[in-house]
Amino acid sequence: MGKNLKGKDCGKGIYQRKDGLYSARFVDRAGKRHEKYFQTLPEARKWIEDAKYADKHDDVFVATDTTVDEWFNFWIENIVGDLAPNTLRNYRERYVRNIQPVIGKMLIANVKPMHCKKVFIQMDADYAGSTIRQAYITMGTMFKAAKMNDLIAKHPMDGVRFSKPVRAVDDIHYLTREEQRLFLETARRSHNYNQYALILETGLRTGEMIGLTWDAIDFERRTLTVNKTLEFRHAQKVWRAGPPKTQQSYRTIPLTDKAYDILKEVWDSRSGRKESPLLSQTLEYMDRRTGVTSRLVMRDLVFINWRTG
């Protein structure tokens, strides 16, 4: 029998530490010891009772020795590792910059809604609502996977909200035809004019446009197929290929007359463009539809700039 600071019995497996917290210990049928700390004695007793019941009735007993840091590293590498590179980068950035400093060292089973809320409170003054939403999604997805894999009994984000508004769809300004005309008129002085014009004609994301290769263009059918992306990672100074952002991002787009003319002009001028050794690279990426490794040959890119060659 453990005792409290006044020398009174707390019950089997429970004692009060010098800092006032109650330590509850439980050994499951497999012989593994679990320990958790509580503010009050009733909480400690209830935890041991619930743990014994779950262990006795073949419920999955939630281990308490995994930290949030350990779970995040496992989750990012093994559970969501096939997501788009930009999505994974956002998860990592929000975790390292905002989530880890608050709860990274905590045992995952000890994380409560108040700890998750603290992350958003600390972000509120310095971050836009859209960035706070990224942190919200990161934590929500990470803890959902932890619950699905029986690391936690309850989702600590339940009931947690952030108050800073995210820019509404109504706040997004779409270019009018006149604004598009003025933009392209100014952009004609840029060596990226064809890229800008093609994006306006097709609605391609930037990474989709950069990763466009000639095998994705069908001049006979006048279509463009989106099946990969390409981005330059400034920190590592390398090019990285990847799948489109989502399953729905795989698509075939009919070419407008203007889009067809842009691509045909670039195709006809290929022989006059200079090439650097960078174009000899072959990048690999995972096709999220099949799980098969695909390849992007840099020399086959439609648009070449100063980084690619």
Cα–chain-centroid distance for residue 128?
Answer: 17
Lowest mean pLDDT among 48-62, 65-79, 128-142, 272-286: 48-62
**Residue ending a domain, choose from 169, 192, 221:** 169
CATH number at 129 reads 1.10.150.130
CATH number at 27 reads 3.30.730
The per-residue pLDDT for range 158-217, each reduced to its tens digit, is 989 887 766 555 566 788 999 999 999 999 999 899 999 999 999 999 999 999 999 999
Whether residue 309 lies inside any domain: the answer is no
The per-residue pLDDT for range 12-46, each reduced to its tens digit, is 889 999 888 899 988 877 777 788 888 899 988 98
Q: Does 160 share its domain with 186?
A: no
Q: Does 219 share its domain with 260?
A: yes
Question: pLDDT at residue 50 above 60?
Answer: yes
What is the CA angle 36-105-92, rounded to 5?
135
- Asked if 196 contacts 187 with a C-beta cutoff of 8 angstroms, the reply is yes
Residue-number span of the structural domain to which 19 is assigned: 2-56
